[in-house]
């Protein structure tokens, strides 16, 4: 396993932050309720698809209280172009019910509470905390996982372990680095046919070295 030196980690970090100084989510939202719903929908689904779905969903259910009273089948109908729409519809309604019943309609502002909500895993909770509150947390989605491995920042088999490793390596600016790594993975270091010619981290690439 390749171990990056502190100097290399520092340089990789600097380049991510320089290339993506204002990186943020590409999900459209206007408040914490909308962000949480969009993040739940985005599991295994593209942000582009979620952004096509949410306007009608939020028009019909403008608040968490409206969503808590929704029929699952009506929510299903509105989100049916999303992957796993049936499960997600159940999660959304149950999440809203739990927020109304157990948190008086206030979405919790803590990742340890957020993960108690239906449909909200550790990654989703961290994404909400990173995006909405700018909290110094890392979240590992498919892009961050791939990029971390290609850059020799992690060799862990699971996103959870990779998250721990990145947190230990980078320590600060984790929220900004999360967004930067997502954008880098989405547009440059893509799963198929990465745009290596445009890569500003080429000399750190394990994939390049092995090919």
Instruction: Answer yes or no whether residue 20 interacts with ligand SF4 by CB under 6 A.
Output: no
Q: Are 129 and 140 in contact (CB under 8 A)?
A: no
Instruction: Answer yes or no whether residue 72 interacts with ligand SF4 by CB under 6 A.
Output: no
> What is the CB-side half-sphere exposure of residue 122 using CA atoms within 13 A?
12
Task: State the CB neighbour count (10 A cutoff) for residue 71.
Answer: 10
Q: Report in angstroms how near the CB of residue 194 gets to ligand SF4 at its nearest.
A: 4
Catalytic residue, chosen from 123, 135, 176, 197, is 123
Active-site residue, 160 included: no
Q: Are 121 and 153 in contact (CB under 8 A)?
A: no
Is the CA virtual torsion 32, 44, 166, 118 positive or negative? positive
Q: Could you give the string, one character per residue 148-177, with x where binding to ligand SF4 holds by CB under 6 A and - elsewhere?
A: --xx--------------------------
**Interface segment toward ligand SF4; rule CB under 6 A; list 11-19, 57-65, 102-110, 195-203:** 195-203
Active-site residue, 47 included: no
Residue 105 buriedness (CB in 10 A; 0-12 / 13-18 / 19+): middle
Nearer to ligand SF4, 112 or 202 (CB): 202
Active site amino acids:
123, 141
Q: Which spans of this chain sit near ligand SF4 (rule: CB under 6 A)?
A: 150-151, 188-189, 194-196, 199, 201-202, 205, 207-208
């Amino acid at each position: 396993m390749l171990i990056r030196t502190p100097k290399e980690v520092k340089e990789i970090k600097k380049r991510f932050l320089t290339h993506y100084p204002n990186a943020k989510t590409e999900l459209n939202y206007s408040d914490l309720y909308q962000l949480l719903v969009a993040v739940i929908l985005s599991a295994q689904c593209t942000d582009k698809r979620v952004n096509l779905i949410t306007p009608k969903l939020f028009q019909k259910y403008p608040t968490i209280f409206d969503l808590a009273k929704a029929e699952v089948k009506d929510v299903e109908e509105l989100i049916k172009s999303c992957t796993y729409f049936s499960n997600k519809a159940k999660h959304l309604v149950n999440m809203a019910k739990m927020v109304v019943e157990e948190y008086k309609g206030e979405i919790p502002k803590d990742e340890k509470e957020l993960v108690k909500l239906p449909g909200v895993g550790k990654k989703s909770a961290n994404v909400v905390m990173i995006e909405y509150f700018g909290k110094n947390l890392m979240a590992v989605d498919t892009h961050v996982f791939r990029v971390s491995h290609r850059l020799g920042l992690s060799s862990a088999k699971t996103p959870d372990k990779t998250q721990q490793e990145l947190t230990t390596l980078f320590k600060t600016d984790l929220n900004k680095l999360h967004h930067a790594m997502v954008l880098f993975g989405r547009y440059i270091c893509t799963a198929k046919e990465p745009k290596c010619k445009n890569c500003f981290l080429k000399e750190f690439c394990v994939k390049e070295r092995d090919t």
